[in-house]
């Protein structure tokens, strides 16, 4: 194996690129929804406790494996134990699947950013605007292709000149944008037709107060599972992305501090997203107005922005630009992970690999973008929801494969290579691994059990 030429310039470049991967639509359209649904502050407490134990364990494992083996998922797992190569291949398949639809979502976000930029936002607040847009056979395809093309161009430019260069300015700007909108949300007030007066601060209070009235054991378990699946999707773990990014980290970088900073960035943006979205939705439509996923971002929020009047056009623009940065830096990490695996397995160079992958994924993105028009179908998924093409890809990768991969990798590290494999790497730069004890208990005992339950629940076996 030739020596790996690609590296992040240092800790900051690595942390911002990894945070770029972690901060995505999950922070913006799923975290606030779950917080509103799962008891406000109660969800926040559960989530924070899990970030520091469970999320920490998975993130440490991925990054340390990457840096120690200097390989992406396929090579890394093979090097850890030749018999576990299958786990590397399975892990590699997650970004392979996600890549088919992530640029489609990125295209939607781009379309909305342009709507707000050109001042056409009133139309976007109309009923059925979003449905009209995604069921068109032309426009969503064009936007998906543009988004895919930009992603490929950045990855083509390499780790330092592409990924790091972009993340280094987009992530700080994103943080500022989200913070500005959150502050604005808190100043909102509105009286609706029925004379009901609501303020942003009341919305904030609803978000932060732990609602424990009528809490049952099974409801608490549900909240725990929601927080857990959100967490590992949000940290981009168990899909090989953090293994790839870890493989680009120089040996002198303190991984302990890097991991804390990535967790802080990802969780910080999630918390701010809640403070920006929940009060705004609360003021104009009460908390019943909170929906999840695309409908929150593309249906409810445009209505909220419209209700803000003139300021709403500007706030909407800031929001969709922030969302575009979040989606782009995540999309880059997905393509990078696929690229790195292919380069290692096939011994090809970056430029050729990216060009080939671009052709494949431009076609795939177009197909998925047409999943609401030309290729429309509906299937009932085992977890009880109904979905189209995009949801099927999402379900297989996130609800089935990711918990399964996490489960197997905790067994591999906890019992086959033993946690020393990771601990030695965490300490290799000469810095102490402070949370070593928690790590060992989590990786050997608690995480495997939790992942097993999550797997049963998210696949619909346990319901
Ligand atoms: N972590 C991202 C989020 O929270 C999601 C993501 C998925 C990123 C897949 C990269 C790859 O939205």
For residue 21, the CA-to-ligand 1 centroid distance in Å is: 6
Report residue 404 as tokens. Answer: 């399964």
For residue 383, the CA-to-ligand 1 centroid distance in Å is: 21
DSSP lists the bridge partners of residue 191 as 197
The pLDDT, as a whole number, for residue 463 is 64
Name the one residue in this structure whose structure tokens are 């494999």.
Answer: 421
For residue 299, the CA-to-ligand 1 centroid distance in Å is: 21
What's the CA angle centered on 455, arms 452 and 459, to 5 degrees?
150
Report pLDDT digits (tens) over 425-444: 999 999 999 999 999 999 99
User: Which residue, 143, 148, 66, 50, is CA-closest to 99?
Assistant: 148
Query: Which amino acid residue places its CA nearest to atom 5 of ligand 1?
Result: 24
Q: What is the DSSP string of 102-164?
A: HHHHHHHHHHHHHHHHTT-HHHHTSTTHHHHHHT-SSHHHHHHHHHHHHHHHHHHT-IIIIII
- Answer whether 0.75 is exceeded by the pTM: yes
Report pLDDT digits (tens) over 20-41: 999 999 999 999 999 999 999 9
Task: Answer whether residue 54 shows pLDDT above 60.
Answer: yes
3-state secondary structure of 398: helix
Which are the contacts of 420, defined by CB distance < 8 A and separation ≥ 6? none
3-state secondary structure of 286: coil
Under the banding of pLDDT at 50, 70 and 90, the label for residue 2 is very low
The pLDDT, as a whole number, for residue 232 is 83
Of 90-94, 304-308, 327-331, give the lowest mean pLDDT range: 304-308
How many angstroms separate the Cα of 54 from the Cα of each of 232, 271, 302, 410, 462? Answer: 9, 18, 35, 11, 21
Task: Answer whether residue 1 shows pLDDT above 70.
Answer: no
Which atom of ligand 1 is the closest one to the Cα of 266? 4
The pLDDT, as a whole number, for residue 3 is 45
Task: Calculate what percentage of the chain has a pLDDT beyond 90.
Answer: 75
Report pLDDT digits (tens) over 223-272: 998 898 899 889 999 999 999 999 999 999 999 999 999 999 999 999 99
The answer to whether 112 touches 124, Cβ cutoff 8 Å, is: yes
Distance (Å, rounded) from C-alpha 8 to C-alpha 20?
14
Query: Which amino acid residue places its CA nearest to atom 9 of ligand 1?
Result: 236
The answer to whether 415 touches 426, Cβ cutoff 8 Å, is: no
Distance (Å, rounded) from C-alpha 385 to C-alpha 395?
10
Distance (Å, rounded) from C-alpha 385 to C-alpha 463?
13
- What does the CA dihedral 395, 400, 401, 407 come to, rounded to 10 degrees? 150
For residue 216, the CA-to-ligand 1 centroid distance in Å is: 31
Instruction: State which of 17, 18, 19, 22 you would mutate to test the pocket of ligand 1, scoring each by most atoms of that ligand within 8 A of its C-beta.
Output: 22
Find the residues whose C-beta lies inside 6 A of ligand 1: 21-22, 24-27, 98, 233-234, 236, 241, 330, 333-334
For 108, half-sphere exposure in the C-beta direction (CA atoms, 13 angstrom radius) is: 27
Which atom of ligand 1 is the closest one to the Cα of 331? 10
What average pLDDT does the segment 264-284 reach? 95
Domain ranges of the chain: 11-458
Distance (Å, rounded) from C-alpha 350 to C-alpha 336?
10
What does pLDDT average to over the chain? Answer: 92
Which atom of ligand 1 is the closest one to the Cα of 236? 1
Under the banding of pLDDT at 50, 70 and 90, the label for residue 396 is confident
What average pLDDT does the segment 395-413 reach? 90
For residue 281, the CA-to-ligand 1 centroid distance in Å is: 24
Instruction: State which of 18, 23, 26 you would mutate to test the pocket of ligand 1, scoring each by most atoms of that ligand within 8 A of its C-beta.
Output: 26
The pLDDT, as a whole number, for residue 265 is 98
DSSP lists the bridge partners of residue 89 as none
Which are the contacts of 360, defined by CB distance < 8 A and separation ≥ 6? none
Q: Does domain 11-458 have CATH number 1.20.50?
A: no
Task: Answer whether residue 387 shows pLDDT above 80.
Answer: no
Report residue 165 as tokens. Answer: 């260069």
Query: Which amino acid residue places its CA nearest to atom 7 of ligand 1?
Result: 236
3-state secondary structure of 191: strand
The answer to whether 456 touches 404, Cβ cutoff 8 Å, is: no
The answer to whether 357 touches 140, Cβ cutoff 8 Å, is: no
The pLDDT, as a whole number, for residue 160 is 95
Strand 189-191 relative to strand 379-380, pairing = unpaired
Of 208-212, 216-220, 402-406, 455-459, give the lowest mean pLDDT range: 455-459
Strand 379-380 relative to strand 197-199, pairing = unpaired
Of 11-15, 61-65, 300-304, give the lowest mean pLDDT range: 300-304
- Which own/partner contact pairs does 182-189 have at CB distance under 8 Å and 24+ positions apart? 182/272, 182/273, 182/275, 182/276, 184/311, 184/315, 185/275, 185/276, 185/277, 185/279, 185/280, 185/283, 186/275, 186/279, 188/279, 188/280, 188/283, 188/284, 188/308, 189/283
Task: Answer whether residue 388 shows pLDDT above 90.
Answer: no
Report pLDDT digits (tens) over 63-109: 999 999 999 999 999 999 999 999 999 999 999 999 999 999 999 99
What average pLDDT does the segment 332-343 reach? 98
Query: Which amino acid residue places its CA nearest to atom 8 of ligand 1?
Result: 330
Report residue 175 as tokens. Answer: 């943080």
The pLDDT, as a whole number, for residue 4 is 52
For residue 257, the CA-to-ligand 1 centroid distance in Å is: 22
Range list of β-strands (E), 186-307 = 189-191, 197-199
The pLDDT, as a whole number, for residue 79 is 97
């Amino acid at each position: 194996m030739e020596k790996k030429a690609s590296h992040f310039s240092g800790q900051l470049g690595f942390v911002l690129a990894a945070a770029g991967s972690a901060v995505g639509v999950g922070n913006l359209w799923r975290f606030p929804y779950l917080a509103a649904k799962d008891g406000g502050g109660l969800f926040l407490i559960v989530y924070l406790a899990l970030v520091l134990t469970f999320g920490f364990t998975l993130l440490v494992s991925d990054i340390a494996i990457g840096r120690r083996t200097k390989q992406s998922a396929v090579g890394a797992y093979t090097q850890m134990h030749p018999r576990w190569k299958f786990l590397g291949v399975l892990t590699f398949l997650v970004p392979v699947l996600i890549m088919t639809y992530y640029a489609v979502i990125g295209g939607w976000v781009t379309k909305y950013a342009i709507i707000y930029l050109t001042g056409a936002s009133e139309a976007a607040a109309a009923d059925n605007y979003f449905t009209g847009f995604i069921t068109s056979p032309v426009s969503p395809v064009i936007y998906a292709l543009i988004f895919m093309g930009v992603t490929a161009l950045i990855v083509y430019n390499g780790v330092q000149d592409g990924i790091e260069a972009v993340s280094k300015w987009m992530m700080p700007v994103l943080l500022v944008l989200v913070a500005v909108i959150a502050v604005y949300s808190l100043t909102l007030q509105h009286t609706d037709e029925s004379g009901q007066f609501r303020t942003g601060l009341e919305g904030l209070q609803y978000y932060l107060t732990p609602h424990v009235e009528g809490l049952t054991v099974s409801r608490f378990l549900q909240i725990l599972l929601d927080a857990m699946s959100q967490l590992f999707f949000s940290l981009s773990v168990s899909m090989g992305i953090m293994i790839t990014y870890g493989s680009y980290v120089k040996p002198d970088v303190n991984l302990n501090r890097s991991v804390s900073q990535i967790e802080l960035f990802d969780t910080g943006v999630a918390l701010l997203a809640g403070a920006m979205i929940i009060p705004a939705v609360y003021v104009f439509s009460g908390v019943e107005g909170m929906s999840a996923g695309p409908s929150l971002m593309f249906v409810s929020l445009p209505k909220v922005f419209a209700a803000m009047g003139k300021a709403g056009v500007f706030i909407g623009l800031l929001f969709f630009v922030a969302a575009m940065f979040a989606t782009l830096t995540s999309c880059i990490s997905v393509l990078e992970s696929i690229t790195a695996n292919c380069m290692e397995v096939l011994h090809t160079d970056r430029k050729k690999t990216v060009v080939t992958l671009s052709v494949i994924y431009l076609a795939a993105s177009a197909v998925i973008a047409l999943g609401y028009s030309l290729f429309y179908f509906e299937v009932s998924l085992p977890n009880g929801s109904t979905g189209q093409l995009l949801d099927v890809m999402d379900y297989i990768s996130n609800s089935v494969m990711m918990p399964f991969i996490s489960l197997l990798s905790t067994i591999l590290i906890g019992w086959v290579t033993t946690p020393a494999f990771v601990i030695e790497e965490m300490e290799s730069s000469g810095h102490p691994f402070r949370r070593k004890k928690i790590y060992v208990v989590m990786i050997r005992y608690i995480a495997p059990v939790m992942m097993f339950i999550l797997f049963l629940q998210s696949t619909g076996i346990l319901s």
